[in-house]
């Protein structure tokens, strides 16, 4: 990205950040204490280009659990380990038509979860990663992939993990349903531990700690076809990055994914801690917003608004030519 273009973009981000400080609609997630107690006023935006230019404004040092924004990256790791054909024997790649945690709509007729962006799909995807190894080694693999993208090894946020684990009955149900359908990789029908492990692994990965800037570096890795922005290291293949962006494009923003595609048109993923990651593909950049107040479907209100404004201002919607 040329320096003058980057500067113009950074100025727009700064202005939009100031404008949206007064946006106070929505409510923080309240299903676990660490999210319920988040300061709703927090607001940070970071951008990172595929060639490693970084700009950030606001509460960009604040840490938050990555939550569902881990899902595209878990999918990338599984694709790298097993290849798309094997991964998609277990996980679908279509819109689910339901909420990310809907018990009735999560598995398709063939028993596979609809895609890796819903909880059942993310649990099934992580079951593929380092299957058969100890959970602590498998977590180390995931942390290592994040470290390769961002230069920083994300830590597990203990209280978030404990609370998610102790109340994650819905996610336990997904893992069990996958095992019952014969769609939990590596699980034999008599292996009671397999669904428990899959759910625990997923919960650990959701509880990894991030800030806007580190998450933007991970997003920039996707924008750069798998090349980490700061180190220049090839972390994922271009094919993996393309597949991840594709599913983010149709299923990354919960039940508003279709509407978001119409209004923004770029691949994005959100998490219930109030983070939104948007990727401007073709070696351009990633934008990450952190603001904990969520709309009705679970997307950060300010996060979605930042995406809309940037796309409109810079004509970034791929189907709406200026």
| Binding residues for ligand GLN, total number by CB under 6 A | 11
Verify binding: residue 58, ligand GLN, rule CB under 6 A. Answer: no
Let me know: does 285 contact 54? Beta carbons within 8 Å: no
Question: CB count, 10 Å around CB of 200?
Answer: 23
Which tokens go with 286?
Answer: 């990633």
Verify binding: residue 121, ligand GLN, rule CB under 6 A. Answer: no
Q: How far is the CB of 272 from ligand GLN (least distance, A)?
A: 4
Verify binding: residue 68, ligand GLN, rule CB under 6 A. Answer: yes
65 annotated as ligand-binding: no
Verify binding: residue 140, ligand GLN, rule CB under 6 A. Answer: no
CA atoms of 215 and 232, how far apart (whole Å): 16
Q: How far is the CB of 93 from ligand GLN (least distance, A)?
A: 19
Among 57, 206, 227, 245, binds ligand GLN (CB under 6 A): 206
Among 34, 49, 56, 67, binds ligand GLN (CB under 6 A): 67
Which tokens go with 310?
Answer: 């940037």
171 annotated as ligand-binding: yes
Among 272, 285, 288, 301, binds ligand GLN (CB under 6 A): 272
- CA–chain centroid gap for 263, Å, is 20
Verify binding: residue 298, ligand GLN, rule CB under 6 A. Answer: yes
72's CB contacts (< 8 A; 6+ apart) are 116, 117, 222, 244, 247, 248, 252, 269, 277
E strands in the chain:
44-49, 54-58, 64-65, 209-210, 268-271, 275-280, 285-290
For the annotated binding site for substrate, the residues are 68, 119, 164, 171, 202, 254, 272
For the annotated binding site, the residues are 68, 119, 164, 171, 202, 254, 272
Q: Can you give the binding site for ligand GLN, defined by CB under 6 A?
A: 67-68, 100-101, 119, 164, 171, 206, 271-272, 298
């Amino acid at each position: 990205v040329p320096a003058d273009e980057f500067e113009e973009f950074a100025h727009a981000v700064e202005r939009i950040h100031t404008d949206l400080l007064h946006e106070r609609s929505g409510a923080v997630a309240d299903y676990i204490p660490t999210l319920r107690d988040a300061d709703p006023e927090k607001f940070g935006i970071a951008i990172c280009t595929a060639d490693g230019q970084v700009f950030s404004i606001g509460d960009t040092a604040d840490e938050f659990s990555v939550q569902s924004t881990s899902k595209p990256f878990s999918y990338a790791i599984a694709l790298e380990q097993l290849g798309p054909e094997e991964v998609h024997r277990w996980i679908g790649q279509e819109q689910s038509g339901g909420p990310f945690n809907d018990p009735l709509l999560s598995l398709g007729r063939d028993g596979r979860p609809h895609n890796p962006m819903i909880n059942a799909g993310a649990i099934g995807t992580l079951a593929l990663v380092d299957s058969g190894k100890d959970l602590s080694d498998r977590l180390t693999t995931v942390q290592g992939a994040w470290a390769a993208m961002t230069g920083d090894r994300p830590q597990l946020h203990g209280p978030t993990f404990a609370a998610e684990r102790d109340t994650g009955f819905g996610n336990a149900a997904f893992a069990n349903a996958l095992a019952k359908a014969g769609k939990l990789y590596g699980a034999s029908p008599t292996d009671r531990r397999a669904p428990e492990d899959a759910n625990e692994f997923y919960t650990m990965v959701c509880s990894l700690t991030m800030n806007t800037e580190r998450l933007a570096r991970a997003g920039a890795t996707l924008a750069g076809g798998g090349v980490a922005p700061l180190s220049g290291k090839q972390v994922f293949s271009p094919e993996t990055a393309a597949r991840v962006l594709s599913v983010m494009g149709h299923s990354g923003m919960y039940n508003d994914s279709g509407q978001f595609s119409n209004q923004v048109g770029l691949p994005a993923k959100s998490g219930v801690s109030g983070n939104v990651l948007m990727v401007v593909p073709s070696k351009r950049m990633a934008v990450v917003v952190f603001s904990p107040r969520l709309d009705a479907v679970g997307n950060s209100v300010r996060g979605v608004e930042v995406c809309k404004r940037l796309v409109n201002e810079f004509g970034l919607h791929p189907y709406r030519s200026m």
